[in-house]
Amino acid sequence: MALLSFIGTASIIGGGVYVYTQRDAIVDDVRERITEELSKALPDMIVGAVGGMGMGEDLAPELPAAPAADTPVAIPVLPF
């Protein structure tokens, strides 16, 4: 029983020491993977955001037509 406890504790400590000593390499690897995935995904996201390829066409509603210049404009009147 004590031997199993020692092996478990030693493996936890060993894993912690390994991660602590290799943290720079681990961070660099994760940063490289994230950069690679973002460089793949960002062009598609940008094209979709600006309405290319059928995406994002409904992001901005159409503006209503402006009235003609000779159309009279009703001026609101106060009720008093």
If you write DSSP's letter for every residue of 6-75 in order, what string do you get? HHHHHHHHHHHHHHHHTHHHHHHHHHHHHHHHHHHHHHHHHHHHTTGGGSSTTSSPPPPPPPPTTS--PP
- Is residue 3 assigned to a domain? no
Domain tally for the chain? 1
Token pair in block for residue 4: 């199993």
Q: What is the per-residue pLDDT across 2-59, written as a single tens digit (0 to 9) for each?
A: 999 999 999 999 999 999 999 999 999 999 999 998 888 887 777 666 655 555 555 5
Range of the domain at 46: 25-52
- Is residue 7 assigned to a domain? no
Sequence-separated (6 or more) residues with CB below 8 Å from residue 50: 56
- Is residue 57 assigned to a domain? no
- Is residue 67 assigned to a domain? no
User: Would you say residue 74 has pLDDT above 90?
Assistant: no
- Is residue 47 assigned to a domain? yes
Calculate mean pLDDT across residues 69-80.
76
Please give the pLDDT value at position 42.
Answer: 81
